[in-house]
Amino acid sequence: MQRRGLAPGAGGGQPRGVPSPELQMIADLLRTTAPARAGTAVEEQRVQFESVGAVSPVPEDVTCSPVVAGGVPCEWVHAPAAEESGRVLLYLHGGGYVIGSIATHRLLAARLSAAAGARVLVAGYRLAPEHPFPAAVDDAVAAYRWLLARGVAGRSIGLAGDSAGAGLALAATVRARDEGESLPGALACFSPWVDLALRGGTMVTRAEGEAVVPPALLSGWAAAYLSGADATAPLASPLYADLRALPPMLVLVGTEEVLYDDAARLVERAVAAGVEVTMEVFDDCFHLWTVLAPTAPEASRAIDLAGAFLRSHLEA
């Protein structure tokens, strides 16, 4: 396993342990105006999150095309650098399985497309509480099978996601393996939420400083998604899944996240199962800092790392 701790400004001039002014400003803002709060109605949470995506348009040279993939509404997002590449990234957005959409993650997909030289298929999978577990897993697997059916080789496909989307990417890969499908060539997990039982120690030790997803919010999302199912069911919480034979995995996490222990325990279990894992830890970064590219240099660095990882593991 490769495991490195990165100063947030690595490659951008900031000394270790000192967040960039941009990151610090956004962290301070989020602690008072986060787009989702525990106790807020789901519809209001969704509207607030969508409003964040609305102010983040993609670059003009990025192509976005809607498509239905295996019955799942999706969108192709690709930067010019990806036009001649055979690499494909199936991206599963975060939002606790309750909020989030193609629109909220379109800009992140565009940045990843440029960095990885890959066409990105962003999946608009069904959300809870209207569609509880395992609806999201069903949709993710359906979109992946659609890619395989269109002739894209598994070794050319990466599965990626942030937060719940990272957990979903893992769950979909585990299910594809168990059902005999060709496996993707790589997994990229940003701030992964892989334990809906919320047993990680940093759920307590880092709760006070969490700027984006306080434990009470995660608890509500987990209850909505599980709808009575076991929180440790392997496809709901892939931390508890058999991880053997999974493809090379990249895990990015910030030191300030309540989900830090989700990432650390996932890496530990994956390495024990024989999976090739690269873990990158970003000092002073909060949950989903990766969506802040190009505003915050920490986010741009994370996207560059993910792009390099995917280029090195996916066949073009």
User: Catalytic positions, please?
Assistant: 163, 257, 287
The whole-angstrom separation of Cα 4 and Cα 279 is 6
**Residue carrying the six token digits 């390099």:** 308
The rounded Cα 13 to chain-centroid distance in angstroms is 26
Are 141 and 184 within 8 A, CB to CB? no
The whole-angstrom separation of Cα 242 and Cα 257 is 25
Q: How are beta strands 119-123 and 2-6 bridged, if at all?
A: unpaired
Residue type, 215: P
Q: What are phi and psi of 145, to 5 degrees?
A: -65, -35
Question: For residue 141, which of 88, 69, 222 has the smallest C-alpha distance?
Answer: 69
The whole-angstrom separation of Cα 190 and Cα 303 is 10
Q: What are phi and psi of 36, to 5 degrees?
A: -145, 135
- The secondary structure element, H or E, covering residue 138 is helix 135-149
The whole-angstrom separation of Cα 13 and Cα 69 is 42
Are 180 and 174 within 8 A, CB to CB? no
The whole-angstrom separation of Cα 108 and Cα 114 is 10
Secondary-structure breakdown of the chain: helix, strand, coil percentages, each rounded to the nearest 5: 40, 15, 45
Half-sphere exposure of 140 (CA within 13 A, CB side): 33
Identify the DSSP state of 188. E
